[in-house]
């Protein structure tokens, strides 16, 4: 099974130092208690590691004993292998792909509806007319829905301090938006 995991920059998590591209093993898997934790929904990684300056995001392969969490898409497992590293932007786009693949699953807690403010180095807003703002270097991910709530498109705006200035709301097309 493919999933997503956030680590400290050195690929450690809760005192365990992961080996890159090799299988990592532990004895038991129980969400919130023991085992290696990851998430099926890439955006759920941002619940636990929201500061991209301190985190490394990865695609991982999960095997062995597995337990899933009912609250979000968290998974505990006994075997985990890092497949590849992701930038924050790549993780956010993987999140859109996940929502397109599983349109009826519960939305990640980091998604704001219609209007969003920064949650670290990112702002993710979904709606019919999504608008968002952020500090300098924030990635705005604006996900447009149709009247039935299906994703029809998404846009990415980087708050660069020049073309897109901090603390100003922008719409899906990159125009300044009314609050």
The per-residue pLDDT for range 111-130, each reduced to its tens digit, is 999 999 998 899 999 999 99
pLDDT exceeds 90 at position 93: yes
For residue 179, is pLDDT > 80? no
Question: In the chain, what percentage of residues exceed pLDDT 90?
Answer: 83
Residues 6+ apart with CB under 8 A from 16: 24, 26, 36
Separation of alpha carbons 154 and 141, rounded Å: 7
Positive/negative CA dihedral, 171, 148, 68, 21: negative
SS3 at position 93: helix
**How far are the Cα atoms of 15, 40, 102, 124, 128 from residue 150, in angstroms, in the given order?**
40, 20, 11, 16, 9
pLDDT for the residue numbered 18: 97
Structure tokens at 37: 């934790």
Q: What is the pLDDT of residue 3?
A: 97
pLDDT score, position 104:
85
Q: What is the model's pTM?
A: 0.93
Q: What is the pLDDT of residue 33?
A: 81
Predicted confidence (pLDDT) per residue in 74-88, tens digit: 999 999 999 999 999
**For residue 65, what are its two tokens?**
């004993």
Quick one: pLDDT at residue 42? Answer: 97
């Amino acid at each position: 099974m493919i999933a997503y995991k956030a680590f400290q920059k050195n690929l450690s998590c809760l005192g365990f130092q992961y080996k890159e591209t090799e299988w990592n093993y532990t004895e038991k898997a129980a969400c919130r208690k023991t085992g290696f934790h990851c998430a099926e929904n890439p955006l759920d990684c941002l619940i636990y590691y929201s500061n991209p300056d301190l985190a490394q995001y990865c695609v991982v392969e999960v095997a062995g004993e597995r337990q899933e969490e009912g609250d979000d898409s968290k998974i505990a497992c006994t075997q985990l292998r890092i497949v590849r590293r992701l930038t924050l932007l790549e993780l956010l786009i993987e999140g859109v792909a996940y929502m397109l693949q599983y349109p009826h699953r519960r939305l990640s807690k980091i998604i704001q509806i219609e209007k969003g403010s920064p949650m670290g180095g990112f702002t993710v807003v979904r709606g019919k007319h999504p608008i968002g703002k952020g500090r300098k270097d924030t990635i705005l991910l604006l996900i447009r829905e149709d009247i039935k709530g299906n994703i029809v498109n998404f846009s990415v705006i980087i708050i660069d301090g020049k073309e897109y200035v901090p603390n100003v709301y922008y719409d899906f097309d990159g125009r300044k938006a009314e609050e």
